[in-house]
Amino acid sequence: MVNMLEIRKLTIRERSTGKVIIPDSSFDVKKGSCLAIVGESGSGKSLTCRAIMRLNKPGIEQAGDIWLGGENLAKLPEQEMRRRRGRRLCMIMQHGMRAFDPSRAVGVHLIETLAEHFDWSKSEMTGRMKRALESVRLNAPMDVMNAYPHQLSGGMLQRVMIALTLVLEPDVVIADEPTTALDTVSQYEVVEQFIRLRERLGSTMIFISHDLGVVRKIADEVLVMKDGRIVEHGTTGAVFTKAQHDYTRSLVTAKLSLHQHFRQVMGE
Amino acid sequence: MGLYMVKRILQSIPLLLAVSFFTFAFIQLSPMDPAEVVLHAQGVPKITDELIAETKTALGMDQPFLVRYSNWLASCLQFDFGSSYITGKPVWSQLGPALFNTIKLTVVSVAAIIAVSIGFGVYCAWRAGKMIDRSLRGLFFFLTSMPSYWLGTLMIWYFSVKLDLLPTSGMDSYRSYILPVALITVSYAGIYFRIIRSSVLSNMNEDYAMYGRACGLPEKKVRARIVRNSLQVAVSVFCMAVPIILGSTVVVENIFAWPGLGTLSVNAILGRDFPVIQAYVLVLAAAFVLFNTASDILNAALNPKLRNDRS
Amino acid sequence: MMFLKNVLKDRVAAASFAILVAVMTVGIFAPVFAPHDPEEVHMELRYASASWEYWLGNDHLGRCILSRLIYGIQPSVLGVLAALLLSVLLGAVIGFVAGYFRGKTDVILMRICDVMLSFPSYVMTLAVVGIFGVGLEHILMAFLLLKWAWFARIIRTSVMQFSESDYVKFAKVAGVGNAAIMRKHLIPAALPDIAVIASSSFGSMVLQISGFSFLGLGIQAPKAEWGMMLNEAREVMFSKPEFMLAPGLAIIIVVLAINFLSDAFQAAVDPKLAASSRKERSMAEAAAGRLERKEVA
């Protein structure tokens, strides 16, 4: 299979102190597959993903190559990079509540984003957005678009982000702990939508999580990070059954009991 | 929203009543008998007890306290604040024009403060931690630590006397505004500058800024969102700046001989002209309450979250 | 006191603290430090420039400027500090009563606090001076009347929090007196917040009091006060602007030191707020009080 995304020698450090947070990490994501990055908070999962989007804060600098298709994102001028964001690389944030401009209706952001990437008419954008929102089971799409973020729940906003991704049809979707902040029922709905998103777009996905239950359900491959380093990388089955690294084994056993509970909830 | 507005306006009424009551009651605490003050002010050579009693009756001071208060309040509502003890003229004939002059100065100054603090606040937030940000913050810090009358006097000495560019005092043309407005701006902009800067900074770190960028929105649009959300905080703060500046132009008016409320009140205090002091306090305290109300309503109008919670 | 120690680790804060302590010491022992009697008139030395005998020269009545500066510390700095401490004390008592007895007492006291905080402080100071007459003591009285509400609120909040906590309940059961509980638990908890609000009010109060003296509403001649000295220097500002220098710089140095210290207090209390600061809230006064309630700043 062809690699969609190739990360080579990605190094991330703090600008002020020069402290290296992620030393020299390299990995690939195959086209159409889903890679889960797991690890404790502070292990560098989010930093890695933001580095792929080139969206880390100014106080953090990165080096290394990020190949998307045949193109090195790390070498693109900012203006070009901006065009890739949203159109080819989409991000789904952890806190739906905080991801939208609090003083504007949710739809404003959606339409602005679409207008940025496509030459569609206003009615076409609204129409497509409406269908996408309906497809993620938001049954009153116009009400959702006219609502302010605080009027919707975290799970609903998460699905709004998924809907936007559906319309944008990117090559790569990066989801940064999208289920962590949700209650169990919303978690179930969101995970279900993620699976459908993959089915429908066939897009490559990076799914950050520390919930191994969700990871097992959605991911093809798993990458384990600890203190900024990649300690394990393999297919989901391999990582869960015969982990090479002690750290992974401890993670898997620790989560096993929780996982059983998750399976019950998911009705497997 | 409409309901909230009505509710908020109704809420301000008891506060206004309390303010007026305090203002009226406060004057009664004075160690000096107003009748005596009036007689002194009118230059009566020999003050007898009889004369004092007569004056008291003439001023209506022999009536019970609550009767006097309600009479006073009723006439205040018609802009009749009594007559000055010193000039004998109606208080409003002095207070009205002075208030108007101070309002002119305040409006221009608040506009300047808003422009300066938003301009520099947003600019410094984008360049947080850089040289230019640090120097501007230091400068504003220094300026707010300076006594305004000292700075004002230096300004007159330099711009009006040494360079002979601007008038030293009075209120003749738009040029008379430059120095007083500059002085008020310099003394107050620092406070608002800091509020704006930190508000922009905290919004910059919000997730919505990151998500906007992740969706490929141009930097300009993301920044516009950040600024709009940051300024929302500032609207109510700036709204309250109006009565604060209105009440603290005293020193500036004194330095530049501005014929406004500050000059009037200082003269009234030195002459113990109680009706004028009373009217001054009442008008400004009322302005405070009203702007407070306006600021709350504005805040609710701008903030969808508050709007929903309350209406 | 751990709090103060932490704050003083910052070099600027330590320097500011040292300056303030030095200024206050000189002020308290003014008769020892001042080379001359500040009110002694020497008409032959009018507007004399600096000399060995009079380091900073002489004013329009030939009085020693340095001595007047030193004696001026008493009203300009120490007077304000005294008013401030008294208002902290008053606020502490009222806040404690409100937080301790709760119920109606609390509601009434906090209503009064709200009303006090919603008055424009500059106007109220003018009103107090207008009613009681000009004079330093009336301005200080106005400060006392206007500032206590801030401290009452802080103390009330910490009393509320701490009387809930287990060790205070335990202390009560164990028969420890209220005074001891207050001294051991409540005061240390409220102290940092009080230090922040008090120190920032301190700066603006020093500026205000000399401002009122400058307007002729504060201290009366021939007493020395910094604002007053500036007012006297203003008469000759066109011919001898250098007389504005000494008292002006004295005020700036003291206020800067206070503000630096206050910033350091803030940073110590709430590192995240260091930039946004409670200080502007207290400086923007009533507006600030509202901000705090809405948690938007």
* CATH code of the domain containing C181: 1.10.3720.10
Q: Identify the residue whose tokens are 């910094």.
A: C226
Q: Which residues of B touch A51 (CB under 8 A)?
A: none
What is the Cα–Cα distance from A14 to A9, expressed in whole angstroms? 17
What's the sign of the alpha-carbon dihedral B213, B215, B217, B218?
Answer: positive
Best of A109, A172, A174, A208 to substitute, by most chain B Cβ atoms within 10 angstroms, is: A109
What is the Cα–Cα distance from A223 to A34, expressed in whole angstroms? 11
With CB atoms and an 8 Å threshold, state whether C130 touches B265: yes
pLDDT above 80 for A166: yes
- Position B133 scores a pLDDT of 92
Highest mean pLDDT among A154-158, B2-6, B64-68, B76-80 belongs to A154-158
- Position C284 scores a pLDDT of 36
Kindly indicate the confidence band of residue C295, based on its pLDDT and cuts at 50, 70 and 90. very low
Distances from the Cα of B29 to the Cα of B34, C74, C137, angstroms: 11, 28, 16
Q: Which of A202-216, A221-235, C200-214, C281-295 has the lowest mean pLDDT?
A: C281-295
- Position A260 scores a pLDDT of 64
pLDDT above 90 for B115: yes
Q: Which residues of A touch B219 (CB under 8 A)?
A: 82
User: And the tokens for C56?
Assistant: 């900073």
Best of C123, C137, C225 to substitute, by most chain B Cβ atoms within 10 angstroms, is: C123
CATH number at residue A41: 3.40.50.300
Give domain status of residue C78, yes or no: yes
Number of domains observed in the structure of chain A: 1
Q: Which residues contact B277 (CB under 8 A, 6 or more apart)?
A: B27, B265, B268, B269, C126, C127, C130, C131
Domain span at A151: 3-266
The 8-class DSSP code of residue A85 comes to: B
User: Region A102-116: what's the mean pLDDT?
Assistant: 92
Q: Which residues of A touch B216 (CB under 8 A)?
A: 82-87, 113, 116-117
Give domain status of residue C128, yes or no: yes
- Answer for the pair C287, B299: CB distance below 8 angstroms, yes or no: no
A54 phi-psi bin (left φ>0, alpha ψ -120 to 50, beta other): left
**Which residues of B fall below an 8 Å CB-CB distance to A?**
205-208, 210-219, 221, 225, 228-229, 232, 302-305, 308
How far apart are the two ends of chain B, measured CA to CA in Å? 5
Give domain status of residue C57, yes or no: no
Number of domains observed in the structure of chain C: 1
Half-sphere CA count of A233, side-chain side, radius 13 A? 12
pTM of the predicted protein model: 0.83
User: And the tokens for B209?
Assistant: 């800024």
Longest alpha-carbon distance in chain A: 55
Segments making up each domain of chain B, as ranges: 95-274
Superfamily of segment(s) B95-274: MetI-like (1.10.3720.10)
With CB atoms and an 8 Å threshold, state whether A90 touches B215: yes
Task: Give all strands (DSSP E) within chain B, no chain letters.
Answer: none
- Position B117 scores a pLDDT of 94
User: And the tokens for B124?
Assistant: 């410094």
Q: Mark out the alpha helices in A21-180 (DSSP H runs).
A: 45-53, 78-84, 96-99, 106-117, 122-135, 141-146, 154-168
Kindly indicate the confidence band of residue B170, based on its pLDDT and cuts at 50, 70 and 90. confident
With CB atoms and an 8 Å threshold, state whether A86 touches B212: no
Domain span at C155: 2-33+72-286
Highest mean pLDDT among B124-128, B160-164, C281-285 belongs to B124-128
